[in-house]
Amino acid sequence: MATKEKDDNQDVIGRLAGRGEDALHRLAELPGGSKALKAFNDLRQRVDELSRKVRGVDALEERVTKLEKELAALKRAQKPAPKAPTRNAAP
């Protein structure tokens, strides 16, 4: 039974893929269609590039957080001990 469902799902996906290809071919045949397809392809490449860059931001944020903690620890270690108040002698 599970095999029949799997075959049906693959069949549906195959049909959708075929219809998508047909739609792309029809779009390319329209006036200005090739320009639209080129624009969509360029958009896809830009989104892929942007997603690669965004994935790198998480690692940078972790590094910045770690450095901020280290800097705070260094600042605490460098604070001088508070001085005892001195009294001026009265004349």
Tell me how crowded residue 24 is: count the other CB atoms within 10 A of its CB. 13
Per-residue confidence (pLDDT) for residue 38, from 0 to 100: 85
Which pLDDT belongs to residue 70? Answer: 95
Between CA 48 and CA 36 the distance in angstroms is 18
Ranges of residues in the chain with a pLDDT under 70 are 1-9, 80-91
**How much is the pLDDT for 69?**
96
Assigned token pair, 85? 């108040």
Which residue in the block uniquely carries the two structure tokens 């996906």? 13
